[in-house]
Amino acid sequence: MSLFDVTLTVGGDVISTFDVSEIIVREEFTKARQFEISVLDEARASWILDEVVVIDYGFGSPKRLRGRLEGIDKRGALTILTGRDVSYETLDRPVDKEYTDTEVVAIMKDLIDTYAAGVLTYANAAASASTIGSIYPKRISMLDAFNKLIRYAESVDGDDFIWYLDHDKDLHTFAEGDVDNGRELEWMIEIFDYRRIRDSWRAYDKVTVYGGLDADGVATSGSAGVGSREKIVIDEFLATDLACSQRAVAELKKTSARDVYALTCILASDGPTIGERVFVSLDPEEIEMGFIVYAVEDHLYSGVTVVEVGESVAGLTDTMIDEHVLDQYMQQIKPPAPVALEGDYTTWTLVWKRNYGAGTDGIMTNVRADNSGNVYATSISGIAYFKAYGGAEVSTAGYLWFIPGVETRERGGGGSATRRYIVGYDTDHTFDVWSAGVKIFTRDVQDDEASLWYCGPIDVSPNGKYIASGGSNGNGYLLLYEGS
């Protein structure tokens, strides 16, 4: 190894230590280890994205980061190479497995056995106090599943529950504060510089949670706290408004704002690790107290470690969640009953039509139908029309409906929520409905208004039940069809 016990290999080529200005390796919770390498121009003729990067480093106890080159940034005489540890690519694998009455970390271990056997291990995974009655991680990555599970464990254990993969690809799980080696970091001994930073990823004063669908197919939601800094959480496993509200209370407990310090220390192979509790003496801030290590950033060529520490969540007694509320919340963690996003339709029948007159006020350029059969349309002149299924209508001049894609949807067709139904036009005055690559329905709008020259723009509602079409014979028309 070099003077600083560092060996850098990129694409199989060992890079000379004299051509490297700095190597930074950063570790933090639930994220892949990241690297940033500053190299001189003469280090290599060229760099290629996705090349394998191997960094062996350490003072007596070497570590290894095996990553992939994801960024190349030329800055004067230096090139900055960035990327992540490839260990976390394994966690991108999708999972699909159901569990009943199973402890949280046991689920994480089983997911590793099922989807990452031989790649990841879990020798340092400590059990939580949380047993989930029913959960079905489906069509999400292992990383997302781990984060959902850990959030449930945090609520029950009272403290932040922590997980990460170490440099040996071993899973660590533990409650905040459980890792305490009696380490002390003292000003002008271990610490020779610092800066105070706000813990921005936790600084929220309001949390809103959007869940899945309840038994009646209605979307669920809940919130806690008051303020302008709002965190949005989406958790499809929560099937009642109560469960969403209780999750919001639990999440708010963790996201209250507090200071975080970035302490610059001497680099050491046995330095602080993420999740560890350390005692910090910081004379300029008149601080002598315990902190939790949130992130560790080793600057291998500068010989320093930047340790980010913050207050223990358990100390925030003003926002501690009631144990009874937690018990109720955990009982609600069940996947909602499957609800079809689209109905079963094979034919669509005209339910109303209207002549909007000649000129730019009447010819439609955009049209949308919602799940209730309401129609939104905009004319060439910019008059926006809302036509309710029951007949009521409102028009507004100089307005455009804020619906994704509405600005560019001209005469082309659309698709339902999961694209089960695709609608488009065949001839000037005929539209078709396709499903699974098969044309299942055709309608000539001249059968409903003989004078029409063409149909379009056209759209199908997200549930597939309604089709709205414009049309023209010099005058502009709207027609709505209902599926059965």
Domains and CATH numbers, the chain: 6-86 (2.40.10.220), 93-175 (3.55.50.10), 184-331 (no CATH), 348-483 (no CATH)
pLDDT of residue 203: 57
**Mean predicted confidence (pLDDT) in 242-248:** 79
Q: Provide the mean pLDDT of the chain.
A: 79
Residue 111 confidence (pLDDT) above 60? yes
Residue 481 has pLDDT above 90, yes or no: yes
One-letter amino acid for residue 247 of the chain: R
pLDDT of residue 134: 74
Higher-confidence residue: 8 or 59?
A: 8
Give the pLDDT band (50/70/90) at residue 150.
confident
pLDDT band per the 50, 70, 90 thresholds, residue 332: very low
Question: What is the average per-residue pLDDT within 360-381?
Answer: 81
What number is the average pLDDT over the span 53-71?
85
Lowest mean pLDDT segment, chosen from 63-77, 199-213, 295-309 = 199-213
Token representation of residue 351: 């339910």
Q: Where are the alpha helices (DSSP H) in 316-475?
A: 323-331
Q: What is the pLDDT of residue 121?
A: 93
Q: In the chain, what's the furthest Cα-to-Cα distance?
A: 90
CA 334 from centroid of its chain's CA atoms: 20
Residue of 457 and 204 predicted with greater confidence: 457
The predicted pLDDT at position 255 comes to 62
Predicted pLDDT of residue 226: 77
Local confidence band at 407 (pLDDT 50, 70, 90 cut-offs) = very low
Mean pLDDT of 61-85: 89
Angle, to 10 degrees, between the axis of helix 142-157 and the axis of helix 241-255? 80
Rounded Cα distance between 400 and 406, Å, is 8
- Of 255-259, 261-265, 413-417, 456-460, the poorest mean pLDDT is in 255-259
Is the full-model pTM beyond 0.75?
no
Cβ atoms of residues 423 and 432 within 8 Å? yes
106 has pLDDT over 90: yes
Give the closest residue to 230 by CA, choosing from 256, 203, 204: 204
Of the two residues 155 and 447, the one the predictor is more confident about is 447
How high is the pLDDT of residue 154?
64
Q: Does residue 137 have a cis peptide bond before it, meaning omega lies within 30 degrees of 0?
A: no
- Cα–Cα dist 290/280, whole Å: 6
Count of residues in the chain: 484
Give pLDDT, residue 427.
Answer: 63
How much is the pLDDT for 482? 92
SS3 105: helix
pLDDT score recorded for residue 156 = 57
Query: What residue ranges in 199-324 does DSSP mark as E strands?
Result: 206-213, 219-225, 230-234, 259-266, 277-282, 287-299, 304-310
- Burial class from Cβ neighbours inside 10 Å (0-12, 13-18, 19+) for residue 72 reads middle
More confident residue, 22 or 314: 22
At 170, the amino acid letter reads D
Q: H or E stretch including 249?
A: helix 241-255
**Percent with pLDDT over 70 in the chain:** 82
- Asked if the model's pLDDT at residue 53 lies above 90, the reply is yes
Q: How would residue 259 be classed by pLDDT, with cut points 50, 70 and 90? A: low
State yes or no: pLDDT of 194 exceeds 90.
Answer: no
Q: What gap in Å lies between CA 199 and CA 181, rounded to an integer?
A: 24
Q: Which amino acid is at 428?
A: D
Whole-angstrom distance, CA of residue 447 vs CA of residue 430? 10
Residue 351: how many other CB atoms lie within 10 Å: 12
Cβ-contact 260, 308 below 8 angstroms: yes
Is the pLDDT confidence value at 84 over 80? yes
CA distance 352 to 238: 39
pLDDT of residue 390: 67
In DSSP notation, 203-236 reads: --SEEEEEEEE-TTS-EEEEEEE-SS-EEEEE-T
The predicted model gives 450-472 an average pLDDT of 86
- Highest mean pLDDT (candidates 144-153, 324-333, 399-408, 473-482): 473-482
The pLDDT of residue 36 is above 60 = yes
Above 70 in pLDDT, residue 402? no
**325: pLDDT confidence band, cut at 50, 70 and 90?**
very low
